[in-house]
């Protein structure tokens, strides 16, 4: 039995990741997810070493309400892409600490084809931590997957609300899956998800549901027409599809590639990714600075009392900040 590559041997880890060693890739992602100080330093060195090998993948964020068919869509889309000779990585952003329902670990059983596909790699997000920290580690995981030769990265939002913004901020193309009826159109509008969308796909457009799906697509199209597009080079389309039957999946991917071609030609894709890198840096810095608030026992004991004093008006917020900073040594 071959001994695993030690975490300290970053050169060998990087070499094995570049050669597409799946076991080493999994271990390297575990390294990135670790909160140990020595592991963080090694992870930073590893991602720096692999940086020249990253950036070539198509990065697609996928969101949608529970029951919309995200897992089925990812399975259908990913399988179509691997059949075309592409290598597909599926990642998730899930900020909750004890979430089980809907997590990508469970979704592996619903991604029956991809879970057994040698050209696909499915990885859940860390099971706990703040959204910022989880999102930052997902971004680093994305880089490792790209260095390992995965040329399509699908990032699913498992949580709700801010996780959608986090995924939109780390991908090139943000796909919103929707359903017809049940007030879903208005719900998505209220959540502001439509404003993030590079495309809306009304799923389960088959059988008796097809007319309702077409009507929903028309309503979404009208909503998008009112909004100012995020990009001067792209107007988000609305399509209907059936992930279960495989209908509309090729057209969906054609829109993704068209979007990529237009934004690459205009220079917008490079500018967007540069901005995302800077956001990533600040997110990781904030996570690092806030880490003592969650791990230092003295602070954890004192914080509830300080919060109560601020809430009761006994302590000014500015004074509270100074107290906390002093306890942190700053």
pLDDT digits (tens, 9 = 90+) for 257-278: 999 999 999 999 999 999 999 9
pLDDT at position 1: 38
The whole-number average pLDDT for the span 73-81 is 96
Residue 272: inside a domain: no
pLDDT at 309 over 60: yes
pLDDT of residue 228: 80
The band of 99, judged by pLDDT with boundaries at 50, 70 and 90, is: very low
Residue 179, pLDDT score: 87
pLDDT grade for 280, boundaries at 50, 70 and 90: confident
The whole-number pLDDT of residue 108 equals 57
Model pTM score:
0.87
Across the range 29-57, mean pLDDT stands at 91
Identify whether 294 is part of a domain.
yes
Assess if residue 38 is contained within a domain. yes
Give the three-class secondary structure for 155.
strand
Q: Which domain holds residue 31?
A: 1-53
Q: Are both 231 and 322 inside the same structural domain?
A: no
pLDDT of residue 188: 53
Domain end among 241, 266, 291: 266
d(CA 261, CA 258) in angstroms, rounded, equals: 5
Q: Are residues 109 and 205 in the same domain?
A: yes
If one counts the domains in the chain, the total is 3
Element (H or E) spanning 106, and its range? helix 104-110
More confident residue, 324 or 16: 16
Query: Cα(58)–Cα(231) distance, rounded to whole angstroms?
Result: 18
CATH number at residue 21: 1.20.5.170
In sequence order, what are the beta bridge partners of 58?
A: 152
Is the same domain home to 307 and 168? no
Do the beta carbons of residue 179 and residue 190 sit within 8 Å? no
């Amino acid at each position: 039995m071959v001994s695993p590559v030690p975490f300290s041997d970053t050169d060998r880890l990087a070499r094995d990741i570049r050669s597409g060693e799946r076991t080493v890739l999994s271990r390297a992602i575990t390294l990135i997810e670790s909160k140990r100080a020595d592991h963080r330093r090694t992870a930073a060195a590893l991602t720096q070493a692999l940086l020249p090998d990253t950036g070539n993948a198509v990065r697609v964020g996928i969101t949608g309400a529970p029951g919309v068919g995200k897992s089925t869509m990812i399975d259908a889309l990913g399988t179509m892409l691997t059949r075309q000779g592409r290598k597909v990585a599926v990642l998730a952003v899930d900020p909750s600490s004890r979430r089980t329902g809907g997590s990508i670990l469970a979704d592996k059983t619903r991604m029956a084809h991809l879970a057994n596909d040698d050209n696909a790699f499915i990885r859940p997000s860390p099971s706990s931590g703040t959204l910022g920290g989880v999102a930052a580690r997902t971004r680093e995981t994305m880089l490792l997957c790209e260095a390992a030769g995965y040329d399509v990265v699908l990032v699913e939002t498992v949580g709700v609300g801010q996780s959608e913004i986090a995924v939109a901020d780390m991908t090139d193309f943000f796909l919103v899956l929707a359903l017809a009826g049940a007030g879903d159109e208005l719900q998505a509008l209220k959540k502001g998800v439509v404003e993030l969308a590079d495309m809306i796909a009304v799923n389960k457009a088959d059988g008796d549901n097809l007319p309702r799906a077409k009507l929903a697509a028309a309503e979404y199209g009208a909503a998008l027409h009112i909004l100012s597009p995020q990009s001067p080079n792209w107007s988000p389309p609305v399509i209907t599809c059936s992930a279960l039957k495989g209908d509309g999946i090729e057209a969906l991917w054609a829109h993704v590639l068209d979007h990529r071609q237009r934004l690459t030609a205009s220079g917008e894709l490079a500018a967007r990714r540069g901005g995302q890198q800077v956001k990533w840096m600040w997110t990781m810095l904030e996570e690092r600075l806030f880490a003592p608030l969650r791990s230092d026992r003295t602070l954890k004991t004192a914080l509830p009392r300080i919060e109560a004093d601020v809430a009761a008006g006994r302590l000014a917020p500015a004074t509270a900040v100074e107290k906390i900073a002093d306890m942190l040594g700053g």
